[in-house]
Amino acid sequence: MPKIVDHAKRREEIALVACEVVAARGFEQATVARIARAAGYTTGMVAHYYESKQAIILAALRLILLRIEQRLTRERDTGEANLLSVLSEALAVDAGRFAECAFWMAFWGQVSADKRLKRLNAWVHREYMRLFARCFAEHWPEWTTWPPATRDHVLRSVVTFINGLTAGAVTSPRDWPASLQIEQLNLQLDLLRKWAKSRRGRPARPVLGKNPKEPNGPRGIRPDVPKKRGS
Per-residue pLDDT of the chain (231 residues; tens, 9 = 90+): 556 777 888 899 999 999 999 988 888 888 999 999 999 999 999 999 999 888 998 888 888 888 888 888 887 666 557 999 999 999 999 998 999 899 888 888 888 777 888 888 888 888 889 999 999 999 999 999 999 999 999 999 999 999 999 999 999 999 999 999 999 999 999 999 999 999 865 654 555 454 444 334 333 333 343 444 444
Cβ atoms within 10 Å of 27's Cβ, excluding its own: 16
- Determine the length of the chain: 231
Q: What span, in angstroms and rounded, lies between the C-alpha atoms of 126 and 218? A: 15
According to the model, what pLDDT value does residue 93 have? 94
Q: What span, in angstroms and rounded, lies between the C-alpha atoms of 99 and 85? A: 20
User: What single-letter amino acid sits at 89?
Assistant: E
Domains (ranges, CATH) in the chain? 1-74 (1.10.357.10), 77-212 (1.10.357.10)
According to the model, what pLDDT value does residue 199 have? 81
According to the model, what pLDDT value does residue 203 have? 52
> Cβ(218)–Cβ(146) under 8 Å?
no
- Residues β-bridged to residue 221: 207
According to the model, what pLDDT value does residue 105 have? 86
* Nearest alpha-carbon partner for 103 in 15, 40, 37: 15
User: What single-letter amino acid sits at 53?
Assistant: K
| pTM (2 d.p.) | 0.75
According to the model, what pLDDT value does residue 88 have? 93
According to the model, what pLDDT value does residue 133 have? 94
| Helix or strand holding residue 59 (H, E) | helix 53-73
**Would you tell me the crossing angle of helices 148-171 and 95-111 to the nearest 10 degrees?**
100
According to the model, what pLDDT value does residue 231 have? 44
Q: What is the dihedral of CA 105, 111, 114, 117, to 10 degrees?
A: 80
According to the model, what pLDDT value does residue 228 have? 45
According to the model, what pLDDT value does residue 119 have? 85
